[in-house]
Amino acid sequence: LAKTTQPISMDSYEGQEVNITCSHNNIATNDYITWYQQFPSQGPRFIIQGYKTKVTNEVASLFIPADRKSSTLSLPRVSLSDTAVYYCLVGAQGGDKLIFGTGTRLQVFP
Amino acid sequence: SQTIHQWPATLVQPVGSPLSLECTVEGTSNPNLYWYRQAAGRGLQLLFYSVGIGQISSEVPQNLSASRPQDRQFILSSKKLLLSDSGFYLCAWGVLRGQLTTDTQYFGPGTRLTVL
């Protein structure tokens, strides 16, 4: 199973763009990269998923270089409500389970 | 649309007492089902997952067990709770998409368990 490494915490201010990078050096050919967001006392919520290049939705963008050994979640113009823990995951072979790390705790200040 | 339910929302139990947490999914069939535990300020720990009725895989040896009596029902149990069982328990469901593994998971509201 591919292991991911991401910063423990990040701070930002409202209105700024936040980029959280995740390393996954041992990603397998069939693995997707998925990001989740978790607020306190709630279950994680799916944000975005990609396989290569760039993916964008109404919430975030995901940048994946050609070697797929890392990925960057980009949150445009963050607000206080974006304060949460963000998890980077790589899909396990067979798709039967995902491994959550400790995530990146993003704190947005006014 | 799909929904996932967990109950109870909060639970306070004495050490040595039994446990039963229930999770049900609506609006989908043959989902993969998962139980996670999250200790305070920590990441999620996968406890069990199931790809079908009666099929349970355990990730961590412990005094907890899981069962899947119906396609969309997943139960987490314990015969005797330990203090270390306290935590936030999350149920999730997911569905494989084609041949490429992309098992996006959708989480329930969670159960906050405190063992005293």
Q: What is the pLDDT of residues B53-110, one digit of tens each?
A: 999 988 876 899 999 999 999 999 999 999 999 999 999 998 765 544 456 788 999 9
Contacts A–B by Cβ distance under 8 A: 72
SS (H, E, C) A34-100: EEEEECCCCCCEEEEEECCEEEECCCCEEEECCCCCEEEEEECCCCHHHCEEEEEEECCCCCCCCCC
Is B57 touching A (CB cutoff 8 A)? yes
Confidence at residue B61, expressed as pLDDT on a 0 to 100 scale: 67
* Closest alpha carbon to B52 in B35, B70, B65: B70
Is B89 touching A (CB cutoff 8 A)? no
pLDDT per residue over A15-56, tens digit each? 999 999 999 998 888 788 889 999 988 999 989 989 999 999
Decide if A71 contacts A63 (C-beta within 8 A).
yes
Confidence at residue B32, expressed as pLDDT on a 0 to 100 scale: 87
The domain segmentation of chain B, as residue ranges, is: 3-110
User: What is the CATH number that goes with domain B3-110?
Assistant: 2.60.40.10
Number of structural domains (chain A) is 1
Is A92 touching B (CB cutoff 8 A)? yes
Domain range enclosing A31: 9-109
pLDDT per residue over B5-36, tens digit each? 999 999 999 999 999 999 999 998 888 899 99
Decide if A45 contacts A63 (C-beta within 8 A).
no
